[in-house]
Amino acid sequence: MVNALSSKKVPSLIAAFLLALLGLLSMYQEQASSVSGTWSSVEDVTSRLAEREATLNQRIKAEALLLSFTRAQMTRYYWGEFASSLNELGLSAGKLFIAKVERSKNNTMLWLSPEHGDEAYLAIVRRDSNGTRLERLHCRGDVSKLAKPFSGTCPDGWNQFWARAIP
């Protein structure tokens, strides 16, 4: 009975030994690389991660503002016409963005340029070609293309992330 138990334990003991050996080797390699590595690379990674986190936080706030803008403009249009400013809609761009609202009889646009960062945003609410429905479109892209003319969809090189026709 003792021989049967020990023969069942041998593969487990070998596996445990190999895992322990792999763990020790990886600890030794990690220690050696951290000693030879430079602190500047750690700081570089940390700054890139902080920049990425700030961009994602800014994107979340911008997308929430764009959605509020499109909903409020659709409501305003239902009652007569598009609003000409964020204040008329009860909205604010806060300190993160510089907001510009452009309005005509058939469409309205909200341009958001960041105080810091290189990603700008655009919301468009417009009547479709039949004049029976409202369409909304949200875009984001490089801030350098913010002032350039465009065809009414997202500016060249920008990404469309929300489009929908509303009955």
d(CA 20, CA 135): 61
Q: What's the CA gap between 136 and 108, in Å, rounded?
A: 10
What is the reported pTM?
Answer: 0.68
Residue numbers in the chain where pLDDT is lower than 70: 1-7, 28-40, 147, 163-167
Residue 3 CA: distances (Å) to CA of 15, 16, 22: 19, 20, 29
Considering only CA atoms, which of 39, 59, 101 is closest in space to residue 76? Answer: 101
pLDDT digit string, tens, across residues 6-50: 667 777 778 777 777 777 777 766 555 554 555 557 778 888 888
Among residues 41, 122, 125, 21, the alpha carbon closest in space to that of 83 is found at 125
pLDDT tens digits along 14-26 = 877 777 777 777 7
| Dihedral sign for Cα atoms in the order 48, 51, 57, 61 | negative
Q: What is the mean pLDDT of the chain?
A: 81
